[in-house]
Structures are given as C-alpha cells and as structure tokens.
Amino acid sequence: MERAIAFLTRTRNPGRVGWTDILAYAYLVLGVLLILAPVVWLFVSSFKSQRALIESDPRFLPYEQVTAVLPGSSRPVNLVEWTAPDGTTRVFAQLRLSGANVVLADPAKPDETFQVPRRDTRPHETVRARFENYSEPTLGGGAAGTFRFGLYFGNSVFVTVVATLMTLAISSMAAFALAKYRFAGRDVFMLLIVATLLMPATVILVPLFIVVKNFGMLDSLWGVIIPGAATPTGVFLLRQYMLTIPDELIEAARMDSASEWKIYYKIVLPLALPAIAVLAILSIIWRWNDFLWPLVVLSRSETFTLQLGLSSFKGEMLDATHYLLAMTVLTLLPVTFVFAFLQKYITTGIANTGMK
C-alpha cells in the first residue's frame, strides 16, 4: 500500500507534488471523462429495453420490469414492490390500476386482492442486458427488418478492403517511381500530386458525380472505391520512406539482372513495409468512416455502407432507438479494436504525415 502511494505520487521532483502537476492531472482526468463518458453512456444504453430508452431512464445499468404469469390467467402482469405501513417491503402482482390506488395480489394467491395507494409501490425491476438489441438486426427476427446490418457491413468491408489494397498498390508504385528514378518531368508529377490537395471531393462534388455517372459507376461500390484510391498523402508518405532505402541494394539487384518490377516487389516493397502499414491503417480508417462521397454515389439501400445505413436509420426510425444504439456500437467497435491494438502506430503515423 505504502509503495502504491509512493508510486502514484512520484513526480519529477521526488517528494514534492507541485500545483502544476495537480492541475495537469486534473485537466487530463476531466478531458478523459468528457471524451469517454458519452461513448460509455451510448454503450450501456444500447443494452436497455426500448421502454427504458423512451422513458429516458437515467440509471446507469439496464433495468427491466419483472413480470409473472399468474395461475388461471395467460397474460403476464407486472410485479411491484409494496412497502406496507409497518415498513416491510414485499413483491406483489399488480392486477390493475384504480384511481390513485393499485389492486395487488400475492402471486401465489391471485384471488385475494387488495388495494393500496399507488405511491407506496415501486416497479419490481431486475438488471438485464438486452442482447436482443444486437441479435435482432444482425441475425433477423424482431422488428428490425429495415436495418440490414449484414448487408451494410459486407458493403463497408468490401469498400474498405478493396480500396485499401488498391491505394497501397498504386501509391507504392508511384512512390517507387518518384523516389528511385531520375526522369524528365519528375518535379512536374510531384507538383501535380500536391495540387490535388487543392481539389478535395467536397468542392468538386457535382463534376465528380457527373464523371462517375458517365462511367456507369453510380449506385455501385466501385464508384466509391475508385475515385478515392489515389491519395497525395499516401504517395508522399511512402516516397519519404523509400528515399531512405539505399540505392546500392537496387543497383546490386540490377547487376543480377532482376527486372525493375522484381526490384519493386521483392526489394523495395518489403523494405517499405513499415510505412505501408501506416498507410494501410490510415486508409482503413478513412474508408470505414467515409460519409459524404458514398452519400452522393449510393442511393439504393442495397449498396449502402454501414455509415449510410446508420444515418438513414437515424433519420427514419424514431421508435427503434434500441436498435440504433446497438448498431452504432457495432459500427464503432471495429475501429475501436484496431485503435486499441495499433494506437501507437496510428498516432505516430499521423503526427509524422500531418495530414488526414
């Protein structure tokens, strides 16, 4: 215990906790609360029943009303806890309401009914996580018909995987040419690639749409994948890294009469793998979270990605909050896992490229 306290209070100047240290930690704790609390709240809410969500039950854990089927009846009735005037509390079945009173009965003896003031009773509840919120939209069943999670998930995975592979392949080829060859117009190409930073999809939305439509890629996942496959960030990230690969390796391979293509995929690509991994992670995040461009290209719900499905579900299904929250959790889980395992490489990758 003593050692634990010593560990926790250890700072730069041993034996002295400055007020700036306290401020710094207070800032961090506050910030982390502000960042995690909404996400955690979404997560616990996603296990609550639709009724608890509509009533905006502010309690942290998912509570659910306990019901029972009394002998001689087929309909389940709610159980309530009644606090008798002598202070004891017992569970009874609530048969019906009667003005400000409720009619109760012992579940074992449903014929002996009695009335008590409603304010002396509380719903009898138990903690239960509703995994149905997750299973019904994914595996079918329930009223989750319009949210086809499997389909959207498949579309998102397809877009993310294919687009990332494509980005890696073509960016590494371009980076190889720009890093390892001297040729006429190299600087012009570099300038052209930088210039694409001036044309983000947001400001060329209409003509990009018309180009894609004329290629017949509207309402097709390829219309989402191909226009964004080339990225200036990716090319420069890889080129910067390939510059550090010694030219002697390439010269030696040429001596052994390896073809240039072989040099690219046998020597340069494996050596550039660290930078390629960073680009792969970045590309996966960009593609998984992409919203505006898929929104323009995809209008049929069969081609929706998870983000589009979620956003249209949010717009139309006012009475299915429980599914919406659960599906949101499923959408953020993959990125969260990727981040949890690779956060060090993601943060260094972004700090080094300074782009997104």
Partner 1 sequence: MGANAEPGPSAVVDTTDGGPAMRWVVTPLLAAFEPPMRWLQTKLGLRGLPYVFLLPTMAIFGLFSFLPALLNIYISFTGGASTILADRPFVGLRNYEALLACESIFVPKSCPVSGFGFWTGMWNTLLFAVIQVPIMTAVALATAIVLNREIRARGFWRALFFYPVMLSPVVVAVVWDWVLKRRGILNALMAEIAETRNALAAWGPLEMAAKIAALVVAAAIARRLWALRAKGAWAIPALVLCAGAAAWLVFAWDVRASVATQAWRPINWLADANSSWPFFWVVFVYTWSHLGFFMLILLAGLQAIPRDLYEAAEMDGTPKWRAFVRITVPLLMPTLLVVLVLSLIRAFQIFDEVYVLTGGGPGTATRMVIQEIYESAFVSDAKLYGVAAAASVLLAGVILVLTLVQLALTRRKAGA
Among 325, 354, 303, 337, smallest CA distance to 52 is for: 325
Residue written as token pair 């429980």: 322
Residue 79 β-bridge partners = 93
- What the block records as the tokens of 82 is 């009644």
Nearer Cβ to partner 1, position 95 or 295? 295
Least separation in angstroms between residue 331's CB and partner 1 is 6
Cα separation of 177 and 242, whole Å?
10
Question: In angstroms, what is the minimal distance from the CB of 258 to partner 1?
Answer: 10
Closest to partner 1 by CB, 80 vs 276, is 276
Which tokens hold the place of 135? Answer: 């299973």
328, amino acid identity: T
What's the closest the beta carbon of residue 298 comes to partner 1, in angstroms?
Answer: 11
Q: How far is the CB of 340 from partner 1 (least distance, A)?
A: 8
Q: Token match 């992409």: residue?
A: 290
Closer CB to partner 1, residue 27 or residue 114?
A: 27
Q: How would DSSP label each residue in 238-249? A: HHHHHTTS-HHH
Give whichever of 68 and 346 is closer to partner 1, judged by the CB atom: 346
Question: Residue 172 and residue 182: Cα distance in Å, rounded?
Answer: 17
Residue 307 CB, nearest approach to partner 1 (Å): 5
Q: Which is nearer to partner 1, 122 or 186 (CB)?
A: 186
Q: How far is CA 124 from CA 50, 59, 67, 90, 318, in A?
A: 18, 15, 8, 10, 28
Nearer to partner 1, 94 or 321 (CB): 321
- Three-state SS annotation for 56-100: CCCCCCCEEECEEECCCCCCEEEEEEEECCCCCEEEEEEEEEECC
Shortest separation between residue 94's beta carbon and partner 1, angstroms: 25
